[in-house]
Structure 1
Amino acid sequence: MSSSNSRFAGLGKEVGRAVGALAIALIVAFIIILLTSDDPFKALDTLLTGPLSSKRTMGLWIDDVAKLTLTGLAFALVFQARQFSLGVQGQVYVGGLFATLIAMSPIGETWAAIPVSMLVAMIAGAAYGFIPGYAKARFGANEIVSSLMLNYIAIKIVNYLVRAHLAPPGTGQLMTEKFPATSIFPAIIPNTRFDLGIVIALVCVGLVWFALYRTSWGLKLRLVGHNTSFAEYAGIRSRFIMVSAMTAAGAVGGLLGAVFVEGRAFGRLTIDFDGNLAFEGILIAIVARNRPLAIPFAALFYGYLRQGAQLMGIRTDVPTEMITVVQAVVILLFASSFTLPGRNAIAAIGRRFKPRAAREGAAS
């Protein structure tokens, strides 16, 4: 009973933190809008209701949720092992490139196009995630520096290949030709971006949760993350676990690359196709505390805020960049030891007015 109570108490605390952070973020957003807009109430209304204004905008929101969920999972895997690899963006580009090569090959016109391209993208992403992990385990290289440099390498190489080799020759386009219909995700809701990507993301949530909490590998990974010295004393090969965590995260990142290029938003490979969204998974992982089952909910909230901000930038006079201040506030609140103001005072008042019998029972 006590463990159940503590579990619910912990859940209540996390929900309270989330609600408090949301309230403070909205207050900050309103202040920013008030200072920058001639019609602040219209701008705030667009921010809060824009993503639900039509099937098209809802599709944009869910498309972002799917991608944010996958990038959040990738970052959460390495953060669980207490590694700070930031290479998901590069893995997304590598995965997107290899998915494109499959889509533009003869396989791309067959029923096997989507499963094969996703598999190849995952393998490519895993290989790219393995590199900084091995460099740290073998040579002691800093994973933050190596993964960031690998991001730049992947982005520049993919952009060069698109411009110089994959785009239709002589057109000056910065994208490939449209993929065959068999290589593009089917829409769940017609004429929207609500496509197979969200199903893939939710399946990945279940798989990552199972791997972390129902397998010996996941237990070892979490032990290494909590206390590396204790894990090594218990006979766990911490270096192997670190490398495997980065490799698994790379596979998820590569899969996200396939979701980008084969989703209905693109259906082709373009330069700079991720729009920096792949890097925003850091925020999702922080808000969700690296818990796979919490990541989709964090992605729902952040994706809604992201789409609302973009629509506000299009439909009103508030620049979209201003909403990054709100995003920074959310990160600071969740990354710090933020608690609701006055929580201790409220708890003290509650204890004071608790019935005497209950107080005596608690004391005994």
Structure 2
Amino acid sequence: MINSKFNRPTIRDVAREAGVSYQTVSRVLNKQPRVSADTRRRVLAAIDKLGYQRNLAAQMLTTHRSQTIQVIAVDTKFSMSIHAMTRTAKEAGYMPIYVECTKESLAETFDVAAARLVDGIYLYAPGLFIEDNELVRLSHGIPFVRRDYVPDSQLTWVGFDQRHSSDLLMQHLLDLGHTDIAEVSGSMDLINPRLRHEAYVAALIDRGLEPGPSVEGDYITIELAMKTGYEGTCELIRSGDTFTALVLGNDYMAVGALHALREHHVRVPEDMSVVSFDDTPHAQYMAPPLTVIHTDFDLQDKLAFEYLFERMAAPDAKHVQHVLKPELIVRESTAPVTNHDSIAVP
């Protein structure tokens, strides 16, 4: 018989059903190693049969741990990798709590995380320029990791080398003979677009070339990215500037850019080479398939969580800055400049 309020099973009910002590059930729930495989199976079967759920409030009072991780996106939206983040957290026994906020409300968001007694914070803030000591102050001592490329920070972060990403694309276009290269980027208020733009300019200046025309815009959502790609490309074409290659801030911006080029009867790659960043799943199926910088976001999330778990286990451990190297994937949207005439459509 289940002896709990509202007939909710208790840990002792599970123990009786499985024929073990309640201490053994506790060890199974806390994923401790000193339990045989057969015993673990019996306990889990009893949990399923009875529909047992842990009393998180009691657990938090006893262990001072909530088994939760707060995932915070600052001035951006969660990407497709949210599924990978959820899977990684749950496999480690944690429930992710997703929160979107602005830079202005970040302090309040950290305050709420502290009140919830979260065990760690996973911070995704590509536009957050903040001093390390200020971020530490805001965190209330909660272990955290940044899922961003922030080369000036000495805290723990995991990110792709954005300058190297841009260098790879620019070198590819220059090797094809392109010297008139235009750009439609994300907002310079964000870290990644700013670093990519700086590398784009440097690659041209280092070779004695003038940087091409550049337009920036919002790409915080898929819809905005496609709109920015379309409108930015139309603006470049109407400007009268000549260019034979176009660099887009991400693959969704490339969707809009390709639509704009088709409207202006500009062929890709015959008249215009097009490249972009990220290599999201649809990039290889576009017409034509996109030449891109491939960034493995699942790997980035996996590593970031691993570092977060390490900091949760040892908050005073040395901080780690993990730089991931991107990869150039050449597809059918680029061609040698000998096949091109620089375009300027009135």
Whichever of the two has the greater Rg, that structure is 2
TM range (shorter): under 0.3
State TM-score, norm by structure 2: 0.21
Determine which structure has greater relative contact order: mean sequence separation of CA pairs < 8 Å that are 6+ residues apart, divided by chain length. Answer: 1
Structure number with higher helix proportion: 1
